[in-house]
Amino acid sequence: MLRANGRKHRHLLLLLAMTLVSRSAVAQVSLTGDWQQTDRTEPIIASYYIGDFTALPIKPAALQGGDSWDESRWSQPERQCTPYGASQVFRNAATVRLSEERDPLTQTLVTINMFVSTFAQSRTIWMDGRPHPSKYAAHTWQGFSTGKWDGNILTVTTTHLKQFWHRRNGIFTSDQTVVTEQFIRHGNRMTIVSMIEDPLVLTEPLVYSANMVNATDVQLGAWQTHGNCQPDIEIAGRPTGYVPNVMPDPKRGMEFATKYGLPFEATRGGAETLYPEYREKLKKLLDASNQQAASQ
């Protein structure tokens, strides 16, 4: 009787384990396929003006870097072929291909592989539970990514990223940036929500989202965007190692504020400007600005 009860308990435990595994398997969805962007919460990054730091929770030191930014830095040979890092992939109009690699025996998911059309970037998302490497390990444009399923949501954490930029007008990232992404598929569409944490530059996480649609007719040319890049001397006569620069000058951003009718203070970024409560302060700033213009 005891032996029979023990066997029965083992069978129940095995059945419970199989049920949990099956539920976990059902919860996961396949993200494989070609994906093209339909919209995102930010415009194309290259369109930002000097002095446009709106909607960025940046620290004062980062703001100073933006005030000394010289657009001519993109003409430097070492910057001309800089690819989009993992923190920026879904903030640009890229076409992305997702594929899987599974253990041939158990069919356990080992990696989700990402290919980005812009600059032909490849990224591996490890799904086998391995830890992130030492902080002294190499930093790359795509970093080191690990993923896990939370129900039908894929959560990806990426570290070991090279210095890049939060906004292409002088607001750079640090090599301590951590990106957390959630991939949420609903039918033939997918939403990617990204949270960027950068303790050296940001006072709080920077969050944005993008929507993509599953495409079955992507032409070959779409996968060759900037596949090859040849840096050239764009401005002749510069000495070797020259870095374009200007002294920090906040007033350089006045042109952007004036063009869009914004109070200058509102263009300086900061976490406060991200929240609805800032509308009241913005209204007061606008009223004060209008009164000053009328008096002049």
Query: What's the pLDDT at 229?
Result: 81
Query: What's the pLDDT at 218?
Result: 80
- When pLDDT is averaged across residues 48-65 and rounded to a whole number, the result is 90
Q: Structural domain boundaries of the chain?
A: 1-28, 33-224, 250-295
What percent of the chain is predicted at pLDDT more than 70?
86
Q: Is the pLDDT of residue 193 over 50?
A: yes
For the CA atoms of 239, 76, 140, 150, the dihedral, rounded to the nearest 10 degrees, stands at 150
Task: Work out the pLDDT band at 40, boundaries 50, 70, 90.
Answer: low
- When pLDDT is averaged across residues 137-158 and rounded to a whole number, the result is 96
Q: Pick the residue with more confidence: 224 or 13?
A: 224
148-167 tens-digit pLDDT: 999 999 999 999 999 988 99
Task: Work out the pLDDT band at 252, boundaries 50, 70, 90.
Answer: confident
Q: Pick the residue with more confidence: 66 or 292?
A: 66
Query: What's the pLDDT at 203?
Result: 97
Query: What's the pLDDT at 25?
Result: 44
- Mean of per-residue pLDDT scores for the chain: 85
Is residue 214 within 8 A of residue 189, CB to CB? The reply is yes
Query: What's the pLDDT at 33?
Result: 93
Query: What's the pLDDT at 41?
Result: 62
Query: What's the pLDDT at 233?
Result: 87
Query: What's the pLDDT at 47?
Result: 55
Query: What's the pLDDT at 92?
Result: 75
Query: What's the pLDDT at 46?
Result: 45
Q: Is the pLDDT of residue 137 over 50?
A: yes
Q: Within 10 A of 140 (CB to CB), how many other CB atoms are there?
A: 14
**Residue 120 main-chain phi, psi, to 5 deg:** 50, 55
Task: Work out the pLDDT band at 14, boundaries 50, 70, 90.
Answer: very low
Task: Work out the pLDDT band at 65, boundaries 50, 70, 90.
Answer: confident
Query: What's the pLDDT at 22?
Result: 42
Q: Is the pLDDT of residue 59 over 50?
A: yes
The CA distances from residue 101 to 16, 106, 107, 109, 110, in Å, are 28, 12, 9, 6, 6
Q: How far is CA 182 from the centre of its chain?
A: 11
Q: Is the pLDDT of residue 284 over 80?
A: yes
- When pLDDT is averaged across residues 134-159 and rounded to a whole number, the result is 96
Tell me the residue type at 118: T
Q: Is the pLDDT of residue 230 over 80?
A: yes
Tell the burial category of 85 from Cβ atoms under 10 Å away from its Cβ (0-12, 13-18, 19+): buried
Q: Which residues contact 270 (CB under 8 A, 6 or more apart)?
A: 56, 57, 58, 203
The CA distances from residue 296 to 95, 213, 266, 284, 293, in Å, are 51, 52, 22, 18, 5
Q: Which of 119-123, 199-203, 236-240, 274-278 has the highest mean pLDDT?
A: 199-203
What 3 state SS string does the chain have?
A: CHHHHHHHHHHHHHHHHHHHHHHHHHHCCCCCEEEEEEEECCCCHHHCCCCCCCCCCECHHHHHHHHCCCHHHHHCHHHHCCCCCCCCHHHCCCEEEEEEEECCCCCCEEEEEEEECHHHEEEEEECCCCCCCCCCCCCECCCEEEEEEECCEEEEEEECECCCEEECCCEECCCCCEEEEEEEEECCEEEEEEEEECCCCECCCEEEEEEEEEECCCCHHHHHCCCCCCCCCCCCCCCCCCCCCCCCCHHHHHHHHHHCCCCHHHHHCCHHHHCCCHHHHHHHHHHHHHHHHHHC
33-224 carries CATH number 2.40.128.20 = yes
Query: What's the pLDDT at 289?
Result: 77
Tell which residue, 91, 85, 284, has the closest CA to residue 172.
85
